[in-house]
Structure 1
Amino acid sequence: MEILQGIHRLQTPLGTRSLYQHLLIGERCVLIDTGVTKTPEEVLIPYLRQVGLGPDRIDLALISHADADHCGGNENLRQVAPRALIACHELDVAWVEDPDRLVEERYNQFSEQHGMGLRPEERAGARAMMGGKVGVDLHLRGGEKIRMGEGWRVEVLHVPGHTHGHLTVYDPRSEAAIICDAALGSVIPDARGDPSMPPTYCYPETYLPSIRRIAALKPKRLLTSHYPAMSGREVRDFLRESADFVRRVERTILGALRRTKRRMTLREIIDAVSGLLGKWPEEAAPNLAFPLSGHLSLLSKTERIKKGRRKGLVCWEIS
């Protein structure tokens, strides 16, 4: 549905969670994220027909970042809308172009060093969310402006943290920020609003400044990929909640290491802190590997904790 002038919001089923794509329609037509494998065919094209447009109207698919639920529909888009160019940040190109590499290097990254590899069914599930390899036509850096029509330009911002190349689109005309996963609150909800999984940012050293950058825009509307649209105070509260969670994670990690007074693996730290950080289902706790590994890396660099090995696995203790 059209939620703001020229900005349309589409919804794709994603298990128990909500997944949103955004479509900007003016003189140009820009899709933000292609969703999962069949999103273009099953969600985008029917919506375009509903508003009286054909797939040939799509000029650009801007991929916010390299994740299966954001770039998984690239191959299908190329099939149903072959004239559309695909763009993403240059730092995420390798993963956006190659689904197999994305699964191995992003989702299975904790296998060798931490003993937390994907089970065969998890690997197959992640891969099934994406089509085949598709090249990226435009490599972005952030700072680009897209002319949508007379008096309407939107800005592309580089907001790393969830991935190195995460992008946000800001529309000054409606004062709306389409941030996708650039900020993730303190818990990602399911479609009913119940806790589903923890935030999965990876690099706190860039994630927190990105949240501040979005807040500095003072957007009146905030559009994400997994939350209902927000406005006014909801925007400020959500961004504050996102930043506060980052600081709480660091404190909680340090507290767990101090209490145990021994070296802990990533799996052990997750078990120790998950219940302190949120009320998501127990089976979702391993997703904490993404933010926790980022914090542990940062804390090691600043020498607040020491990194070592135990039985072949990376572990940490208080310095």
Structure 2
Amino acid sequence: MAIGDSFEVTVGGVDGISYVDTGMYGTAEYGAVYVVEGEDPAIVDSGIGTNYGAILDGLAERGIAPEDLATIALTHVHLDHAGGAGYLAEACPNADVVVHERGARHLVDPSRLVAGTKQAVGDQWEFYADPKPIPEDRIREVTGGDTVDLGDRVLRIHHTPGHAPHQVVFEESDESVVFTADAAGIYVPELDSVRQTTPPPNFDLEQCLADLHTIRDCDPAVLCYAHFGPAATDDRLAEYADALTEWVGAVERKRDELGDDDAVIEYFGEHTSMVETWGERKGTAEERMNTRGVLTYLDSRTA
């Protein structure tokens, strides 16, 4: 697999769904945008904005012209999922941008989202493109229980706010697929395992565990991870529940031991195992960000 390449989802006999490796943060097998073919084609998420041309190329590979794209379905408005939406909406003039009602205002005016992202990702901001505002009349606000009609397919929306209050997952029941956003963690194909994603400021362990039950109730055969790629469901949801709980416990114990949050952040950044997979810069930055998210959660729990 290489950055910019497009691949069919073949797990579980899924038909008519593919994904593009967007090369997020200059890292292969980290960021995926899904193309859902059909009468009214859609994409799920939009990437970071920098390599949105690769998504247009992925559509072309599936015979979908920009003017034929009907929906840009955003799982949430964090910029690694929604940063390219304005660029793609501009290039695909007939596409509605679907987003949870709590995130819509950030697509119209992304300034606060940009500020928060810069604070969360630090010097990784250099990998981002400044998001383009989206006109209000191009945005369709949704919430849990709503559906997106794609003609011969339907995406059912489930609200999963543990990672962010504006996060949803999309269920395509005919193909037994759930597009998991960040609600089921990060799938690492090279390791065939799932890892935590717990960024500040909204990570909530109990709600994240409840969100896993929401996905489980859909009974999907295949999980399409935004980070990264499709995988058979098998025991992935239970694996992630254990991984999240163990991760939060590890950060809490290290805080008790060191008594200094900066030292805790540096400890986990220096001891992450993901350097070999994602490279030193991304692996270290990811672990530091996730540690900050857990520390923020622990503070909110005792407030």
CA deviations 1:18-57 (Å, max 9, x no partner) are 21111222221121111132544x2232233333231111
Residue equivalent to 1:26? 38
* Inter-CA distance 184–33: structure 2 relative to 1 (3 Å threshold): same
Q: In the alignment, what sits opposite 1:12?
A: 22
Hey, what does 2:197 align to over in structure 1? 199
Identify unmatched segments of 5+ residues in structure 2: 1-6
Measure the CA separation in 1 of the matches of 2:223 and 2:195. Answer: 21
Specify the alignment match of 2:263 in structure 1. Answer: 268
Task: Name 2:3's counterpart in structure 1.
Answer: none
Q: Is the 8 A contact 1:68 1:130 kept in 2?
A: no
Query: Normalised by the size of structure 2, how large is the TM-score?
Result: 0.79
Q: Identity of paired residues, percent?
A: 20
Q: Partner of 1:77 in structure 2?
A: 88
Q: 1:299 to 1:273 in 2, by over 3 A?
A: farther
Task: Give the AA of the match of 1:131.
Answer: P
Distance (whole Å) between structure 2 residues aligned to residue 195 and residue 267 of structure 1: 28
Measure how far apart 1:257 and its partner are. Answer: 4.3
Aligned match of 1:160? 161
The Cα of 1:290 is off from its aligned counterpart by 4.3
Which shows bigger deviation, 86-95 or 287-296? 287-296
**Structure 1 equivalent of residue 185 of structure 2:** 184
TM-score, with structure 1 as normaliser: 0.76
What do residues 165-208 of structure 1 show as CA deviations (whole Å, max 9, x unaligned)?
A: 111111111111111222215xx64x855999852352223211
Match of 1:93 in 2: 104
d(CA) in 2 for partners of 1:286, 1:97: 30
Equivalents in 2 of 1:293, 1:258: separation in Å? 11
1:182–1:254 Cα change, 3 Å: closer
Contact between 1:61 and 1:85, CA under 8 Å: does it hold in 2?
yes
Deviations 1:142-163 (A, max 9, x none): 211122234x322111111221
Larger radius of gyration: 1
Q: What pairs with 1:223-302 in structure 2 (closer than 5 Å)?
A: 223-231=224-232, 235-260=233-258, 264-272=259-267, 278-281=272-275, 283-284=284-285, 285-301=287-303
> Structure 2: how far apart are the matches of 1:122 and 1:171?
33
Find the residue that maps to 1:149 and give its secondary structure. coil
Regions of 4+ moved over 6 Å:
194-197
Tell me which amino acid in the other structure corresponds to 1:88.
Answer: V
Residue identity in the other structure for 2:60: R
Paired residues of 1:215 and 1:236 also in contact (CA < 8 A): no
| Equivalences for residues 59-74 of structure 1 within 5 A | 59-74=70-85
Which residue in 2 is equivalent to 1:108? 119
- Compute the RMSD of aligned alpha carbons: 2.9
- Mapped partners of 2:180, 2:144: distance in 1: 13
Comparing both structures, which one devotes a greater share of its residues to strand?
Answer: 1
Q: How many residues align?
A: 278
For residues 90 and 205 of structure 1, what CA distance do their matches in structure 2 show?
A: 22
Q: Distance in 1 between matches of 2:22 and 2:257?
A: 43
User: In structure 2, what is the Cα distance between the partners aligned to 1:94 and 1:293?
Assistant: 28
Distance 2:270 2:196 in 1: 11
Separation in structure 2 between the aligned mates of residue 101 and residue 141 of structure 1, nearest angstrom: 22
Q: Which residue matches 1:313?
A: none
Tell me the secondary structure at the aligned position of residue 200 of structure 1. coil
Q: Secondary structure of the equivalent of 2:154?
A: strand
- 1:226-277 deviation digits (Å, cap 9, x = unpaired): 223111xxx24321222112221332244234445xxx3432332455678x
